[in-house]
């Protein structure tokens, strides 16, 4: 057993392996699932959600929706969400706890602004430290009354008139901010246009079938206020971001041959494939098909010698959540890998630039940190060490893959946070490592 999770100490203990091989069915995509739940809640009638994840973030979304009076039931493995229409939320009796989930807080704020009742959105210590002005600002411009605590949650949303539609140019490539404004636009008067100059994940636009137009190098996304959202069944594909840890594990292992099943391959999410291929990884996609409006396929990854590459610019938002694991691949690649234009990483569940730089250095990698990214000179002879997850699921999971390639024992502290997106990660990784 090369990975062991010790519940009592909340540590994952990882020892080096030679082979990463077998098959993994990654958990369902939380980004897509959370949007599906929110849209079902404001839908007209009952929506069936198929393959809804049991990870902590999507459960936080359901908990908040229930507090807003939405009935959600299990039907076998599916969820039935009894949508109450655009104006169907009931006033919540207590603050809405979004846990660790930025997507829940930022997207839900778009639906709670301009309601005839007050609401408070809060979360765990990590979420209460993340910037919320980026959603409060545009919502206020639409007429919402929102107060923050020094730019952060708790977000207090006071009852107000219906919002007014507006044109909003995104100041940063954030799918959460984009989705927040689009969801607010659904309930607002008139038309709302969101303009993005750098593309980010487009699940919200896809699910709502929104009209888009390229204009002057930017993408305009339109939503007409007061358009009912039909109830419908939605199938959640498996999560590319969760698959990413296994892709890299198989690519950098001495021997690797892994099959990842039914993985969401939306191009606004899967730029890691191209980045790893640039580094020399061997990735083969088969059975590419469409499921629930999203491209889905199987991925086969075989081990190969990687070389360093530069990853920056427009590609960054399309692999933003995969940068911690990309940094691990970089530590095993020959030459320099430089990841730039990724300052947004400093505002995730933790500051992922500094957390990954610190952790990889502890294992012996040569890492330089920049304000907007990092560079790694490889290949490093990694050695096991004690590292902190910084309470960030993606840091914990990335460091486990690094540990599989490090001499001796790597201990990841506060490892249970992996459950934010991948409930049985430690067992899944152990099942393919030998």
Q: Please identify which residue in 11, 55, 67, 179 interacts with ligand S3P, judged by CB under 6 A.
A: 179
359: helix, strand or coil: helix
Residues 6+ apart with CB under 8 A from 75: 48
Smallest distance from ligand S3P to CB 197, Å: 14
Is the CB of 201 or the CB of 361 nearer to ligand S3P?
A: 201
Q: Give the torsion through C-alpha atoms of 184, 190, 191, 194, to 10 deg.
A: -40
Alpha-carbon distance of 66 to 92, in angstroms, equals 9
Tokens 């459960």: give the residue. Answer: 59
**Residue list 97-156, contact with ligand S3P (CB under 6 A):** 103
Nearer to ligand S3P, 175 or 283 (CB): 175
Q: Candidates 47, 61, 160, 176: give the one binding ligand S3P (CB under 6 A).
A: 176
241 by DSSP, 3-state: which? helix
- Tally of CB atoms within 10 A around 358: 16
Encoded tokens for 206? 């896809």
Residue 209: exposed, middle, or buried by beta-carbon count in 10 A (0-12, 13-18, 19+)?
exposed
Query: Using CA atoms, how far apart are residues 197 and 350, in angstroms rounded to an integer?
Result: 26
Work out which of 115, 122, 174, 262 binds ligand S3P, going by CB under 6 A. Answer: 174
Task: Specify whether the CB–CB gap between 114 and 188 falls below 8 A.
Answer: yes
Figure out which of the listed residues 2, 84, 187, 201 binds ligand S3P, where binding follows CB under 6 A: 201
Task: Give the binding range for ligand S3P (CB under 6 A) out of 40-48, 66-74, 113-121, 175-183.
Answer: 175-183
Task: State which of residues 36, 42, 175, 331 lies at the interface with ligand S3P (CB under 6 A).
Answer: 175
* Binding segment (CB under 6 A) for ligand S3P, from list 160-168, 172-180, 286-294, 399-407: 172-180
Whole-angstrom Cα distance, residue 41 to residue 70?
Answer: 6
Kindly report the backbone phi and psi dihedral angles of residue 291, in degrees, each rounded to the nearest multiple of 5, phi listed first.
-140, 120
Q: Which is nearer to ligand S3P, 203 or 361 (CB)?
A: 203
Near ligand S3P in 360-389, by CB under 6 A: none
DSSP string covering 190-206, please? SEEEEEESS----HHHH
Strand-pair partners of 45: 83
Do the strands 294-302 and 78-84 form a parallel or antiparallel pair, or are they unpaired?
unpaired
CB of 315 to ligand S3P, least distance (A): 14
321 binds ligand S3P (CB under 6 A): yes
Q: Which residues of 301-311 are buried (b: 16+ CB within 10 A; e: fewer)?
A: bbbbebebbeb
Residue with smaller CB distance to ligand S3P, 174 or 270: 174
Q: How far is the CB of 109 from ligand S3P (least distance, A)?
A: 13
Q: Tell me the closest approach of the beta carbon of residue 237 to ligand S3P, in angstroms.
A: 14
Closer residue to ligand S3P, CB minimum distance, 63 or 346: 346
Nearest approach in angstroms of CB 348 to ligand S3P is 6
Residues that bind ligand S3P (rule: CB under 6 A) add up to a total of 10
Distance in Å, CB of 355 to ligand S3P, minimum: 15
Catalytic residue check, 321: yes
Q: Which of residues 222-251 bind ligand S3P (CB under 6 A)?
A: none
Using CB under 6 A as the binding rule, whether residue 320 contacts ligand S3P is answered as yes
- Partnered with residue 4 across adjacent β-strands are 13
Residue 159 token pair: 């009852």
- The yes or no reply on residue 84 touching ligand S3P (CB under 6 A) is no
Cβ proximity to ligand S3P, 29 vs 298, nearer residue: 29
Cβ neighbours around 254 below 10 Å, total:
11
Residue where the block lists tokens 């639906």: 111
Which of 124, 321, 377, 392 is an active site residue? 321
Three-state secondary structure call for residue 395: helix
Q: Which stretch binds ligand S3P (CB under 6 A): 112-120, 168-176, 210-218, 303-311?
A: 168-176
From 3, 11, 31, 294, residue interacting with ligand S3P (rule: CB under 6 A): 31
Cα dihedral 313, 368, 332, 12 sign: negative
DSSP annotation of 18 reads S
Q: Based on CB atoms, which residue is closest to ligand S3P, 17 or 121?
A: 121
- Select from 29, 124, 344, 377 the one that contacts ligand S3P (CB under 6 A): 344
Distance CA 153, CA 134 (A): 12
Q: Does 395 bind ligand S3P (CB under 6 A)?
A: no
Q: How far apart are CA 163 and CA 169, in angstroms?
A: 17
Residue with tokens 């291929």: 277
369: which strand partners?
374
Identity of the residue, 31 or 115, whose beta carbon is nearer to ligand S3P in the bound complex: 31
Does position 11 interact with ligand S3P (CB under 6 A)? The reply is no
Q: Which is nearer to ligand S3P, 63 or 336 (CB)?
A: 63
Site for ligand S3P, rule CB under 6 A: 31, 103, 174-176, 179, 201, 320-321, 344
Which residues form the catalytic set? 321
């Amino acid at each position: 057993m090369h990975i062991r999770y010790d519940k009592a100490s909340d540590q994952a203990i990882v020892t080096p392996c030679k082979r990463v091989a077998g098959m993994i069915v990654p958990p369902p995509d939380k980004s897509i699932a959370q949007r599906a739940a929110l849209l079902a809640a404001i839908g007209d009638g009952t929506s069936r959600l198929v393959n809804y994840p049991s990870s902590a973030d999507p459960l936080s979304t359901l908990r908040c929706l229930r507090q807003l009076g939405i009935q959600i039931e299990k039907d076998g493995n599916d969820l039935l969400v009894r949508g109450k229409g655009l104006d169907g939320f009931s006033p919540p009796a207590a603050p809405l706890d979004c846990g660790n989930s930025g997507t829940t807080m930022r997207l839900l704020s778009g639906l709670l602004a301009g309601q005839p009742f007050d609401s408070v959105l809060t979360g765990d210590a990590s979420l209460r430290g993340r910037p919320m002005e980026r959603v409060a600002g545009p919502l206020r411009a639409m007429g919402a009354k929102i107060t923050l605590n020094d730019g952060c949650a708790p977000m207090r949303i006071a009852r107000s008139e219906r919002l007014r539609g507006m044109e909003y140019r995104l100041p940063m490539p954030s799918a959460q901010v984009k989705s927040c404004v689009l969801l607010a636009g659904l309930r607002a008067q008139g038309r709302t246009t969101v303009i993005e100059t750098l593309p980010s994940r487009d699940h919200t636009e896809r699910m709502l079938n929104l009209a888009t137009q390229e204009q002057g190098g930017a993408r305009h996304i339109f939503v007409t206020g007061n358009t009912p959202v039909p109830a419908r069944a939605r199938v959640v594909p498996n999560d590319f971001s969760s698959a990413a840890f296994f892709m890299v594990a198989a690519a950098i292992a001495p021997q690797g041959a892994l099959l990842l099943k039914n993985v969401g391959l939306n191009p606004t999410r899967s730029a890691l494939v191209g980045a790893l291929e640039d580094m020399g990884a061997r990735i083969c996609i088969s059975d590419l098909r469409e499921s629930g409006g999203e491209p889905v396929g199987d991925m086969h990854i075989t081990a190969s010698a990687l070389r360093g590459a530069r990853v920056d610019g427009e590609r960054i938002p399309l692999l933003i959540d995969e940068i911690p694991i990309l940094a691990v691949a970089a530590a095993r690649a020959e030459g320099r890998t430089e990841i730039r234009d990724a300052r947004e990483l400093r505002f995730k569940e933790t500051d992922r630039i500094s957390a990954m730089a610190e952790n990889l250095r502890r294992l012996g990698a040569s890492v330089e940190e920049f304000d907007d990214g990092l560079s790694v000179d490889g290949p490093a002879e990694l050695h096991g060490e004690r590292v902190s997850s910084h309470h960030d699921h993606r840091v914990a999971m990335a460091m486990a893959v690094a540990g599989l390639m490090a001499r001796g024992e790597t201990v990841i502290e506060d490892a249970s946070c992996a459950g934010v997106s991948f409930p049985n990660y430690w067992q899944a990784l152990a099942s393919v490592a030998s």
